[in-house]
Amino acid sequence: MPKIEMTVNGKAVSVDVEPGDLLANVLRDKLGLIGTKIACGEGECGCCTVLVDGVSVTSCIFPAFKAAGREVLTIEGLSEDDQLDPIQEAFKEKAAAQCGYCTPGMIMSAKALLNENPHPTTEEIEQGISGNLCRCTGYYQIVQAITMAARHMAEKGGAS
């Protein structure tokens, strides 16, 4: 079975992958990173969103071999030493974290958005999470949480 090397949450890993393996399955089943959820399995709902080289991808349709030599960030890689990422903090504070399927993907999409655009408008936030489908609520608190996270990150000098 071919092996690929990649960096996952800052750590170099070497993992066996079959040609048809998808990144979401490799992360969950071979690396034990079950924070990434698989719901639709068709690239439609955003639950499986992770970042590859800082850009969001739906890992349920992303061939694992395409991650070779690249940096993958999953929800498990956001907190450090039990210190939540500002986006996670804001989701907690605004009560925006809802079901366990959608929330990791929402947070990872927010991370990708703020990487690219540290000062998004409300419309840009709505656009940034438009690929993450939630069937249980409106997006009001989620948009508020991302707005708050952007502000906190800017205050801490994490964004300019």
Binding site for ligand FES (CB under 6 A): 38-41, 43-48, 58, 60, 98-99, 101-102, 134-137
Identity of the amino acid at 35: G
Select 90 or 153, whichever has its Cβ closest to ligand FES.
Answer: 90
CB of 28 to ligand FES, least distance (A): 11
CB of 154 to ligand FES, least distance (A): 27
Which residues of the chain form beta strands (DSSP E)? Answer: 3-8, 11-16, 49-52, 55-58, 71-73
User: Tokens for 97?
Assistant: 């974290």
Select 110 or 153, whichever has its Cβ closest to ligand FES.
Answer: 110
CB of 77 to ligand FES, least distance (A): 18
Instruction: Give yes or no for a contact between 27 and 33, defined as CB atoms under 8 angstroms apart.
Output: yes
Q: What are phi and psi of 155, to 5 degrees?
A: -65, -35
Identity of the amino acid at 81: D
Select 98 or 115, whichever has its Cβ closest to ligand FES.
Answer: 98
Select 102 or 153, whichever has its Cβ closest to ligand FES.
Answer: 102
Helix (H, G, I), strand (E, B), or coil: what is residue 55?
A: strand
Q: How far apart are the first and last CA of the chain?
A: 45
CB of 37 to ligand FES, least distance (A): 7
